[in-house]
């Protein structure tokens, strides 16, 4: 169509459809190999959730502290319990105002492994993080920008940040087909922090993607 328009053709073909058409898919269904059958669950589905809120209370005032991240975690956990019917035994939380629940790098990585470890068909997993997000130089050359996106634990000054490569390897890479993982990252540079292959761009007006 663009060629015809550019050459001032009067009649330009117009494709219309009652339903959305994926023009990258084979036109004839039989030209595509059938999808494999859905996997069979070998045990009852499991639900797990992790919520992390970091206000960085170890930092001096006005030097990186946040004020609402622990409240965000409280709100998310309330929703998990009251709306989505999660049991307390299915939820783990980390927050830096409680000594036994500190969101250190070690504790965060352990929580991520608990969340997705042993995941199977039908499992539902949910991760919420509210805190600082950052960027640091890409160490293995897999980023087009030359920078890794990071989550920043409360002990980042001594333990370092958690890079997107580690997040992908721990949370995404080993997930089997047939389970679901929802992730909410309320931080800077969160859109690419899991190194996922696709991004969603919302059109002007917010009515389409």
Annotation says 69 is catalytic: no
β-sheet bridge partners, residue 50: 92, 127
β-sheet bridge partners, residue 162: 151
Annotation says 154 is catalytic: no
69, 128, 132, 187: the catalytic one is 132
154 CB-contact burial (10 Å; exposed 0-12 / middle 13-18 / buried 19+): buried
Is 175:119 a contact under the CB 8 Å cutoff?
Answer: yes
69, 154, 187, 188: the catalytic one is 188
Residues noted as catalytic: 132, 188
């Amino acid at each position: 169509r663009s060629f015809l328009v550019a050459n001032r053709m009067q009649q330009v073909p117009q494709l219309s459809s009652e339903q959305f058409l994926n023009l990258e898919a084979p036109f004839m269904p039989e030209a595509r190999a059938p999808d494999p059958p859905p996997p069979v669950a070998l045990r009852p589905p499991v639900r797990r959730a992790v919520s992390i809120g970091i206000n960085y209370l170890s930092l001096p005032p006005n030097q990186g502290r946040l004020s609402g991240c622990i409240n965000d975690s409280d709100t998310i956990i309330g929703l998990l319990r009251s709306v989505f019917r999660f049991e307390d035994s299915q939820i783990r939380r980390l927050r830096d105002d409680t000594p036994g629940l500190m969101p250190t790098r070690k504790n965060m990585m352990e929580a991520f492994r608990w969340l997705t470890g042993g995941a199977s068909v039908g499992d539902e997993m949910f991760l919420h993080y509210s805190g600082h997000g950052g960027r640091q130089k890409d160490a293995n050359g897999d980023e087009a920008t030359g920078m890794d996106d990071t989550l920043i634990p409360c002990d980042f000054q001594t333990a370092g940040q958690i890079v997107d490569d580690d997040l992908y390897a721990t949370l995404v890479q080993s997930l089997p087909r047939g389970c679901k993982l929802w992730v909410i990252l309320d931080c800077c540079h969160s859109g690419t922090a899991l190194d996922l292959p696709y991004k969603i761009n919302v059109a002007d007006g917010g009515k389409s993607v």
